[in-house]
Amino acid sequence: MGKTLLCFPLLEARKREAMAQFWKPGSEKPRLLDDEEGGVLFYSSSGFGYANMEKQRQKLPVFKYRNPILYLVENHATTIIVGETGSGKTTQIPQYLKEAGWAEGGRVIACTQPRRLAVQSVASRVAEEMGVKLGEEVGYTIRFEDRTNPGVTAIKFLTDGVLLREMMDDPLLTNYSVIMVDEAHERSLSTDMLLGLLKKIQRRRHELRLVISSATIEAKSMSAFFDTRKTRQGEADEHCVPRRQPTILSVEGRGFNVQIQYLEEPVSDYLQAAVSTVLLIHEQEPMGDILVFLTGQDDIDAAVQLLNEDAQNRGRQPSGLIVLPLYSGLSRADQDLIFSPTPKGKRKVVISTNIAETSLTLEGVVYVVDSGFSKQRFYNPISDIENLIVAPISKASARQRAGRAGRVRPGKCYRLYTEEYFVKEMHAEGIPEMQRSNLVSCVIQLKSLGIDNILGFDWLASPAPEAMVRALEVLYSLGILDEDAKLTSPTGFQVAEIPLEPMISKMILSANLLGCSEEIITIAAVLSVQSIWMSARGSQKELDETKLCFAVAEGDHVTYLNVYKGFLHSGKSSQWCHKNFINYQAMKKVVEIREQLHKLLRRLGIVLKSCDGDTKVLRKAITAGFFAHACRLEAFSHNGMYKTLRSSQEVYIHPSSVLFRVNPKWLIYHSLVSTDRQYMRNVIAIDPSWLIEAAPHFYQLQKPNTATY
């Protein structure tokens, strides 16, 4: 780990174990000294640290509450725990529960997180603290990756989405004794569904305990939601154990101080402000890594480039900044880089989306730069358009972001907005994702769990009825629900098994029937990452010219197959990607997702078949999944305006598409992005008769070769 151990007072076996952990062959051998206190003092680029896990654990604010927490969990069906970021909720509470016997008899303690990266990093931290191998007593499960050992794993970290999927096989989640829903303030679609379902399960499993935790949760409304004191006769049931009235515990105290700095005047360009702030910190502040929150891949790539250019211009590269991007589209190996120790004399700058906002501890981070924005999903059920929009964050998010500093030593958070804005204008909490998302995936999941009356479901915040109706309509037209709004067999059940957007899953199943699943899973993998092209940044002409080498008239999806082939042919070379303006990280992720999809389809009994370059068949398979995203070029449009068949919305081909300016008459798009206009990303040209073939309930023939909705 790049650390030099100075003292080592442990037993021989532990000594060897710790040596193996801290010392890598080839590096300078650690010098072992005795230490009266029985701890392990180590020296790293960030200074001296104490590696005695037990002592570190006891210093956390939550430690003082160990017994009260165990008492409350024993006696209440639901315990709500609110405590500052870094106070030890995520890493300690599952361990306390295990120590108190909640994992005995083969039972498992679950702790959910909204994000995959948090699941992995928290699980490895807890395994480290317990001195066990990750994947054994402490394990984790995220989409497409299971590192648990059934029968051995006692503490399991998982995303809330994965726990929902587990309910498909075990509706009462009988394996779990305690389920801790962490970071509940995030109110992701999956968290909200999970909370409603857990409340249902609690009615059937009185022995199940729930712990709901966060630094910034609105505890009273959460408590009211889980208050199931009324018996069927309507009487309060105060004396049963566990008590059905939820209890709230507030964990006082924080790890280290985080000094907050605001701007005096608002800025118009948060990206440039973030870059300038990083450079200022680098010039003026003592050593320590920097974590910057921007909104998405485009922003982040641009900031990485600006910082690298600045370093080169000033000739500061050899001793200066190590700039690392962090977003969900990166490959696992590249995401892991952020956890690697910073070499001595250097400063790491991690530029991230909000995937680093909750639960993560990056040991070297002393400074946080918060742009005040994130990309958020907004869905309009009337137009049936969902957009990812750069929007201001909430106070809860701002606190979480600041909380990434001050975890192992004092820190500073630079907010790129004014204090007045924070106090007076920023909303306390964000709008729950449930109320601003397309609900297609949510409906299919609830249906697969046998919840038929979705509008009558016990929601923490009700979704818009229009969005629900839209979702039912789409699922019916995709052949996933039948006329009684039940899952169809086999399509509906198979789609529910594939953990992707239902439209992509339907596209894959149709490709199986059409004989092009080999190619379609590559396309599905590319559609699951943000973009495989590099941001042009000043070299748009070269990027456009390079794209032409791969481009085909049928559209982006088929073009991606050419890029993927080229990447494999190059031996997955990063130089090849660089030369061709292709995002190497994104391509590695595509390969990873494709492999995972291949495994999943094998489990469903689907054998991959290739159509040997028959692009018509390929486009028919895409149409079978995405027919609801069809649009037609306006007859006299000189500016490339299309209208969606479904809701007559004005849309345009995104400039990044290979069909930009080609403007075929009929198109299908994968998603929309909204800037000055609604732009369609990832489009293919289609024949309108395929729409009627794919979705006769959805489209009717108006006149030959014309489809209407």
| Closest among 470, 428, 449 to 187, alpha carbons compared | 428
Q: Any idea what DSSP says for residue 639?
A: S
**Amino acid at position 334, single letter:** D
CA gap 288, 413 in Å, rounded: 13
Shortest gap between Cβ of 174 and ligand ATP (angstroms)?
27
Which of 44, 46, 79, 91 is in the footprint of ligand ATP by CB under 6 A?
91
Task: Name which of 79 and 359 has its Cβ closer to ligand ATP.
Answer: 359
Q: What type of residue is 471?
A: A
**Alpha helices of 82-145 — where are they, by DSSP H?**
89-99, 116-130
Among the listed ranges 22-30, 83-91, 266-274, 572-580, the one in contact with ligand ATP (CB under 6 A) is 83-91
Q: How far apart are CA 109 and CA 97, in angstroms?
A: 8
Per CB under 6 A, does 191 bind ligand ATP? Answer: no
**Which CB, 356 or 630, lies closer to ligand ATP?**
356
Site string for ligand ATP, 343-382 (x = CB under 6 A): ---------------xx-x-x-------------------
Determine the Cα–Cα distance for residues 98 and 95; give it in Å rounded to an integer.
Answer: 5
Q: Which of 44, 78, 87, 644 binds ligand ATP (CB under 6 A)?
A: 87
Judged by CB under 6 A, does residue 412 bind ligand ATP?
Answer: no
∠ Cα 332 335 340 (to 5°): 115
Q: Strand, helix or coil at 60?
A: coil
How far apart, in whole angstroms, are the C-alpha atoms of residue 80 and residue 248?
5
Q: Residue 116, interface with ligand ATP (CB under 6 A)?
A: no
CB of 403 to ligand ATP, least distance (A): 5
Site for ligand ATP, residues 2 to 31, rule: CB under 6 A: none
Sequence-ordered list of residues with C-beta below 8 angstroms from that of 650, at least 6 positions apart, any chain: 641, 642, 643, 677, 678
Report the distance separating Cα 412 and Cα 285, nearest Å. 10
Q: Binding of ligand ATP at residue 88 (CB under 6 A)?
A: yes
Examine residue 517 and tell whether it contacts ligand ATP (CB under 6 A): no
Per rule CB under 6 A, is residue 83 in the interface with ligand ATP? Answer: yes
Q: Which is nearer to ligand ATP, 89 or 670 (CB)?
A: 89
- 44 lines the binding site for ligand ATP (CB under 6 A): no
Nearer to ligand ATP, 60 or 495 (CB): 60
Q: Which is nearer to ligand ATP, 358 or 682 (CB)?
A: 358
As a whole number of angstroms, the distance between CA 119 and CA 212 comes to 16
Of residues 121 through 160, those in contact with ligand ATP by CB under 6 A are 125
Element (H, E) at 190: helix 189-204
Query: Nearest CA to 325 among 351, 307, 299?
Result: 351
Cα–Cα distance measured from residue 206 to residue 177, given in angstroms and rounded to the nearest whole number: 10
**At which residue do the structure tokens 């501890």 appear?**
361
Q: Shortest approach of ligand ATP to residue 292 CB, angstroms?
A: 17
Task: Find the part of the chain contacting ligand ATP (CB under 6 A) among 79-87, 415-423, 511-519, 638-646.
Answer: 79-87
Looking only at the bridges linking them, the beta strands covering 41-44 and 47-50 are: antiparallel
CA pair distance 95, 100, nearest whole angstrom: 9
Q: Return the residues of window 380-409 that contact ligand ATP according to CB under 6 A.
A: 403, 407-408
Does the CA dihedral 281-285-287-289 come out positive or negative? negative
Q: What is the nearest approach in angstroms of ligand ATP to the Cβ of residue 122?
A: 6
Q: How far is the CB of 363 from ligand ATP (least distance, A)?
A: 5
Q: Which of 46, 79, 90, 682 binds ligand ATP (CB under 6 A)?
A: 90
What is the rounded distance in angstroms from the CA atom of residue 641 to the CA atom of residue 478?
27
Of the candidates 97, 111, 158, 215, which one interacts with ligand ATP according to CB under 6 A? Answer: 215
60 is an interface residue for ligand ATP by CB under 6 A: yes
- Residue ranges that bind ligand ATP, judged by CB under 6 A: 60, 83, 85-92, 125, 215, 255, 358-359, 361, 363, 403, 407-408
